[in-house]
Amino acid sequence: MSKIRAAITGIYGYIPEDILTNKALETLVDTNEEWIKARTGIEERHILRDPEKATSFMATEAVQGLLKKTGLSPLDIDLLICASVTPDYFFPDTGTLICYNIGAKNAFAYDIQAACSGFLFSATTGAKFIESGAYKNVIVVGADKMSSITDYTDRSTCILFGDAAGAILLQPNEQGFGLQDSWMRVDGVGAEFLHMKGGGSKNPPTHETVDKKWHYLFQDGKPVFKAAVKGMAEAVNEILKRNNLSPDDIRFVVPHQANLRIIQAVADYLKFPMDRVMVNIQKYGNTTSATIPLCLWEWEDQLKPGDKVILTSFGGGYTWGASLWTWAY
C-alpha cells in the first residue's frame, strides 16, 4: 500500500481593501518612504480598519474563497487549524468562530500560536492528521490583524506590519505529492527580543499595562534580524541535507516575509537565486501567520505537479523551521 501523504490541493487569500502607504506613515511618525523601502523592502501594507471586524473575519473570507474554489462543502471539513497571534479572543478560539461562520458542523478546530512560524507549524500539524488516515479534509488558515497590536507612534515597528489571511486545503495523496519532510525548532532565549508583554496571565490588563503600552508588540530589531537569517538558513539547509537535495532541485523557496534584507541574506547564504524565492513583502508587509500562504496563492499559477517547494519561517519565541512539499496540482 502506498504511503499516504498530505497534499496541498487548494489555496486562497484575503487582503483588506484599505492600503497604508509609506507616504502615509510619514504623517504618523518621523520617517520617510524611501528609508522604509530601503530598510525593509516594504512599499505598502493593507489594514482592516473596521473596528467591528477582527481576525476571524479575514480568516472566514479566505476559507470561504477556498471552499468555493475547490468545490468542497463546509460539512466535509474534518479539522480546521488557525494560526494567529491576534485571535479575536483568548477564548473561544478563532478556529471555532471560523467553523461557525462557514457552517462546518462536522469539524473540530483549534488555534496554534507560534508567532510568525504559526502557519508553518500548523501546516505540518494538519498534515499529520491526514497521514494518520484519520481525516481527509483539513484546512489550515493563517490570519492576523497586526494593526490591532501595532503602536503607530513607534516608527521601528509600525512600518513593518499589515493585516491579511491565507488558507490551504490538505487532502490525502498516494502518488507521492504533498509533505515530504519538516524540521522545526524553538528557543525561549528570544522571548526578550520579540514579544507583547501585556494581556496574559503574567501581566493581566490594568491601567498601568495600558499606560506602559504593553499591549502592543515589541521588537528589538538587530538580534531578531541576525537570528532570523541564521534560523531560516539553518532550517532550509537541514531540509536539503536530509533529503539529498541541492538548490537546483527546488522550484521555489517560500520564506516568511519579515524583511526583504532578511530574505536576501538567507537566499545568498543558501545560494538560491532570487527569481526562485517568493517575495511579495513590498505589497503586504509582514502579515505574520499569513505571509507564506499569501505567497503560495500569488505564485499558484507558476507551480505544476511534481515541483519541490520549501517553506521556511522565523518568529517570536524564537520559533523557526522549514518544510519540503511536492506540489500536487
Active site residues: 116, 256, 286
Q: Between the CA atoms of 240, 262, 145 and 279, what dihedral angle is there, to the nearest 10 degrees?
A: -70
At 23, list the grid cell. 507616504
**Distinct helix (H) and strand (E) counts, the chain:** 10, 13
Q: Between the CA atoms of 233, 238, 240 and 241, what dihedral angle is there, to the nearest 10 degrees?
A: 140
- Strands 163-173 and 138-145: what pairing? antiparallel
Residue (of 168, 134, 140) closest to 328 by Cα position: 168
Classify burial at 272, counting beta carbons within 10 Å of its beta carbon; exposed 0-12, middle 13-18, buried 19 or more: buried
Residue (of 102, 105, 122) closest to 114 by Cα position: 122
Residue (of 314, 328, 297, 225) closest to 15 by Cα position: 297
Do the beta carbons of residue 166 and residue 69 sit within 8 Å?
A: no
